[in-house]
Amino acid sequence: MRSLRGLHYSSVARISRCFVARWQGNVIRYISISINCLSGSRRFTDKHEWISVNENIGTVGISHHAQKSLGEIDFAQLPDVGAVLEKEVTCGALESVKAASEIFCPVSGKVIDKNASVEQTPRLINSSCYDKGWLFKVELTKPDELNRLMTESEYETFIKSGVYK
Amino acid sequence: MAQAMAQNMFRISQVSLNNVVRCNAYAFAPATSQAKAYSSASTTDKEKSKNPIQKSVFISQSTDIFTNLALEDWMYRNFNFNNHHVLLMWRNSPCVVIGRHQNPWVETNTTNVAHQGMEIARRNSGGGTVYHDRGNLNLTFFTKREEYNRRNNLEIVSRALFREWGIESVITPREDIVVKNTYKISGTAAKLGRPNAYHHCTLLVDVNKVALRQSLHKDDKGIVTNATQSVASPIMNLCEINQHVKVERMLGAVGWEYLRTCPETLEDGGQDLINKQRGFQLINPTDNWFPGLNKLKEELSSWDWRFGKTPKFQVNKSFRVPKEFLGEGEMGVQELKVSLEVNKGIIDDVTLKLPPGLLSTNGFHGEVDVVTSLRGQPFSERAVVSLENALHDMSTKEGNLQGKSQFVMNCMRQVMQSV
């Protein structure tokens, strides 16, 4: 278990539940999967934003479901670099069909970059919401907040339930 | 029928007003605990059938655009629309209102509008620029985000026009309401958040069309921007179709239609459904009744919000240089090119491209002074004054450049005043 030192408890707990029966025969696979759970994989909010974290820097965007329901985006108003944001606070807006939809920051942190290409060409959000259509990057101040967000499969279930538009 | 209904409305509103005075502090206190709990709550079908959606019509007693925009924002942020939809009706003194992501210098002539004593306001919703006066009725339909439906709201307005005056209207794909297949009488915009959302629209009853045309008149000012642009449409007042259409009657017509229409199915529930609703209320938008309203009003009326929030843009203009300022031997048409970069309403950079002929043998040193005097200035009349001072100082020092510097100054003034 020395290889798991320093990993967050809930990540460790989840991995343990999945792999406890096989850890002796699959130590290397265990470690690589645990690293993936902490970096790169996407988490989702109930307001249809996603965040993908790498070395404490989170890249934020909106989900495919969100871009589809908004329609063609005409304008992206993104938070300024240097802005200090709290989780679930509005930090910008996307305009489509004369409606301004608020963007909510998924986690607390400081904005370190925003996507100038999206400001210039907002339709990138429609065509590539998980890649070129990213919105801004934050340096997380409370990484624990990530654990309260949905995983990709939890988000898919959430969408299918149709509770929220 | 309409008169009886109108009388009923004012009787109800008087009763409601008494209720408002008694229970206002409770009714309008910020529902912050409800607002923050939204992410985990959902309205199940069981809850909906137990507690059907009730409707209220609020009529703002203010005609100040900033107060009304603040009231709208206050309700969006603080009100609990669980099983309760609200239609807010409001009118303003003459003003120009731009959309959230628009450029006021593109959409209107800010200098002219100011000279006419009108305010320019920026609203929180998207969409284009509109002119308001007391002949225009604004309608804001508040719901929870999941129950937001613009077309349904416009259907209610369309029905009201027909029921009260027999006016036929159509809702276009852009969600304007048009009459006679051509003339726009209502434009729409919206704001979507969690848990609340609103859709608002205008209704041209009896606006001053001359003032409207003058305030929304756009020339090509050489502005390059990615801000959202307005789409111009031919417009008409409803009073031109039917002389009996008045704003006071419109309040009742739309209000009653809203109350009698089922929110989910759009079915006409008639008087029975009206009796189950919460009725009309006159609203006095003050900080006492709406704690925090003054702060919202201050933000909405600040220069930073109205002008500073403008997406960055560039102004490019060219001026033909008179022959007398060109050097000997210079042939053909020469142009002075001015380019301003404006970010957050502040002039970030100025570039002057001077034709070789405009330079004297001593060089044109004024360029540097012109640029430095403008940088960091808000894009406004103040910048012109600062520029005039810089060029005046320069021309008194170097008398032989007075004609040329006057020319450059006039060009810069034209750039600033044309917007």
One-letter-per-residue 3-state SS of B368-382: HHHHHHHCCCECCHH
Place of tokens 């026009």: B161
Under DSSP, the state recorded for A150 is B
pLDDT of residue A164: 58
Question: Which candidate, A10, A118, A111, places its Cα nearest to that of A57?
Answer: A111
User: B191 vs A75: CB contact, 8 Å cut-off?
Assistant: no
Closest-CA distance of chain B to residue A151, Å: 16
**CB-closest option in B42, B128, B191 to A100:** B191
Strands (E), B193-276: 196-201, 223-225
User: In which residue ranges of chain A is CATH 2.40.50.100 found?
Assistant: 41-161
Q: Count other C-beta atoms under 10 Å from residue B77's C-beta.
A: 16
Whether the bond between B195 and the residue before it is cis, its omega within 30 degrees of 0, is yes
Phi and psi angles of residue A124, each rounded to the nearest 5 degrees, phi first:
-60, -30
DSSP-based three-state secondary structure for B312? coil
| 3-class secondary structure per residue, A55-95 | CCEEEEEECHHHHHHHCCEEEEECCCCCCEECCCCEEEEEE
Contact B129, B98 (CB under 8 A): yes
Dist. CA B365–CA A161, nearest whole Å:
69
Chain A residues in contact with chain B using a Cβ-Cβ cutoff of 8 Å = 46-47, 74-75, 77, 88, 90, 93, 95-102, 104, 119-120, 163-165
Greater model confidence, A142 or B407: A142
Q: How many CA atoms lie within 13 A of B47 on its CB side?
A: 7
The interface predicted TM-score of the complex, written ipTM, equals 0.80
Residues ≥6 apart with Cβ < 8 Å to B368? none
pLDDT of residue B322: 78
Mean pLDDT of chain A: 81
Instruction: Give residue B93's Cα distance to chain centre.
Output: 13
DSSP-based three-state secondary structure for B362? coil
CA dihedral B105, B107, B113, B119 (to 10 degrees): -90
Length of chain A equals 165
Percent of chain A residues topping a pLDDT of 70:
74
Does domain A41-161 sit in CATH 3.40.50.150? no
DSSP-based three-state secondary structure for B272? helix
**CB-closest option in A46, A95, A120 to B228:** A95
DSSP B103-154: -HHHHS-HHHHHHTT-EEEE-SS-S--EEE-TTB-EEEEEEEGGG--HHHHH
CA distances from residue A101 to A44, A67, B364 in whole angstroms, order as listed: 17, 11, 50
Report the residue of chain B nearest A70, measured CA to CA.
B192
Report the residue of chain B nearest A88, measured CA to CA.
B36
**CB-closest option in B42, B101, B148 to A95:** B101
Dist. CA B78–CA B73, nearest whole Å:
8
Dist. CA B371–CA B351, nearest whole Å:
7
Helix/strand/coil percentages in chain B, nearest 5:
45, 20, 35
Chain B residues in contact with chain A using a Cβ-Cβ cutoff of 8 Å = 39, 42, 99-101, 124-128, 145-146, 148, 174-175, 188-194, 226-228, 311
pLDDT of residue B406: 74
- List of chain B residues whose C-beta atoms are within 8 Å of the C-beta of residue A46: 39
pLDDT of residue A25: 47
Contact B91, B283 (CB under 8 A): no
Q: Which of B97, B194, B200, B202 to mutate to test the interface with A (most CBs of A within 10 A)?
A: B194
pLDDT of residue B368: 59
pLDDT of residue B253: 96
- List of chain A residues whose C-beta atoms are within 8 Å of the C-beta of residue B188: 98
Dist. CA A27–CA B196, nearest whole Å:
49
Question: Which candidate, B146, B328, B365, B164, places its Cα nearest to that of B246?
Answer: B164
Question: Which candidate, B273, B290, B246, places its Cα nearest to that of B88?
Answer: B290
Length of chain B equals 419
pLDDT of residue A70: 94
**CB-closest option in B126, B174, B226 to A99:** B126
- List of chain B residues whose C-beta atoms are within 8 Å of the C-beta of residue A102: 191-194
**In this structure, what token pair is assigned to residue A3?**
């290889």
pTM (2 d.p.): 0.82
Closest-CA distance of chain B to residue A77, Å: 8
Question: Which candidate, A97, A107, A115, A124, places its Cα nearest to that of A47?
Answer: A107
Question: Which candidate, B164, B168, B242, places its Cα nearest to that of B5?
Answer: B164
Residues of chain B with pLDDT under 50: 1-48, 361-363
User: A95 vs B226: CB contact, 8 Å cut-off?
Assistant: no
User: B311 vs A102: CB contact, 8 Å cut-off?
Assistant: no
User: A75 vs B125: CB contact, 8 Å cut-off?
Assistant: no
Dist. CA A21–CA A145, nearest whole Å:
29
Question: Which candidate, B418, B346, B353, places its Cα nearest to that of B383?
Answer: B346
Dist. CA B101–CA B4, nearest whole Å:
44
Question: Which candidate, B335, B330, B303, B332, places its Cα nearest to that of B316?
Answer: B335
User: B188 vs A98: CB contact, 8 Å cut-off?
Assistant: yes
Q: How many CA atoms lie within 13 A of A165 on its CB side?
A: 15
Phi and psi angles of residue B23, each rounded to the nearest 5 degrees, phi first:
-110, 10
Greater model confidence, A29 or B195: B195
- List of chain B residues whose C-beta atoms are within 8 Å of the C-beta of residue A100: 99-101, 124-126, 189-192
